[in-house]
Chain A
């Protein structure tokens, strides 16, 4: 169970109340906003007694465009960026990348950027990627999926290496079921 929010702090509060995961949109807006939202959720998660603030369950979005070489990524994505309804005709691609989590570049650049998110939200459990944005054609989006396949194993390994032992994994259906069965066995004894 996740509660997702773009800008309503009440949703962070709701997620904290139930001890569920909080998913912050984290696209199209500055990281400072996400830092405040996740900070609020973590603080309230602890307040409601579900664990320490840094043990709260956090997920983030993120938008990327990748090519093998960063220059190719920028060159190919720029016309889409410049004309997309959500991006276009305002800040430059470079300004927008500096001000929001948007990352356009090589797979390694995306890995580095994603691993930097934990500097302002703390250790977190899930990362989602927006790859079919700005009017990219299907073929290009499918190629982005291939790049995602390249970077995800690296990200998983790095996140696992960086995560302190007391920070839990995000609960899954399997882990929740196992916990429920274990509790039931405990009662029978």
Chain B
């Protein structure tokens, strides 16, 4: 039963896995589903647009070189700069996030994630990579002034053993999703920012200049 009067939020899901199927995408999807459940419990409807970084790999690099987003990347940037929350999942490459994952976030305008709740997640080929969350992803999003929820979710090969993410991984997913849902639900919806909106008219700017 869907309640059309319920408040609505958008949580963007970024998945930077490269293979298909991708374990990073699998983890991102499970985090998204758990976040949806947790927000629904709180009476909040949520949209969870997924950004597959691989699909935009060339556009992301073009953007870094030209300084403007190619047409196909524009909606992605809008999704990321207007979402009420973010689930960010990357594979671990050489003990850090993947280069493409970082490049995408390098393109965000200043303050795009300020105050935005973020759930960080990573996959890796060995459990020894699990520190990638707290040594790479958390500092990145702290720098961007995002509100990183306490529980990050790392999934290694052992976590996927036996099929679906049950047991300990399931617990971590649910705990992280609950933390994200709490942060998203207690904030008002984010207003989209218009880069062409003037913070002050020229008359006001002249007035301020005269007073100082």
Contact = CB atoms under 8 A, between A and B. Distances in A.
A40 B66 contact: no
Nearest to A7: B195
Contact of A90 (B66, B198, B201): B66
Given A90-B61, A91-B66, A96-B66, A36 B205 contact: no
B53 to A, nearest CB: 17
A28 B67 contact: yes
Contacts of B202: 10, 13-14, 16-17
Contacts of A91: 62, 65-66, 70
B143 interface: no
Contacts of A29: 67-68
Interface of B: 61-62, 65-68, 70-71, 195-198, 201-203, 205
Interface of A: 9-10, 13-14, 16-17, 28-30, 33, 36-37, 40, 44, 87-91, 95-96, 99-100
B71 A99 contact: yes
A9 B201 CA distance: 10
Contacts of B71: 30, 99
A13 B205 CA distance: 10
Contacts of A95: 62, 70
A13 B61 contact: no
B112 to A, nearest CB: 16
Given A14-B202, A17-B203, A89-B65, 15 more contacts: A9-B195, A9-B196, A9-B197, A10-B205, A17-B202, A28-B67, A29-B68, A33-B68, A37-B196, A88-B65, A90-B66, A91-B66, A91-B70, A95-B62, A96-B66
Contacts, number: 46
A14 B70 CA distance: 29
Contacts of A17: 201-203
Nearest to A29: B68
Contacts of B66: 28, 87, 90-91, 96
Nearest to B64: A90
A18 to B, nearest CB: 8
In the A-B complex, the 10 residue pairs with the smallest Cβ-Cβ separation, listed nearest first, are A90-B65, A17-B202, A90-B62, A91-B62, A13-B202, A36-B196, A29-B68, A9-B196, A14-B202, A90-B66
A10 B68 CA distance: 20
Contacts of B67: 28-29
B198 A13 contact: yes
Contacts of A40: 196, 198
Contacts of A28: 66-68
B198 A9 contact: yes
A159 to B, nearest CB: 26
Give the interface centre of A29, A30, A96 by most chain B CB atoms within 10 Å. A30
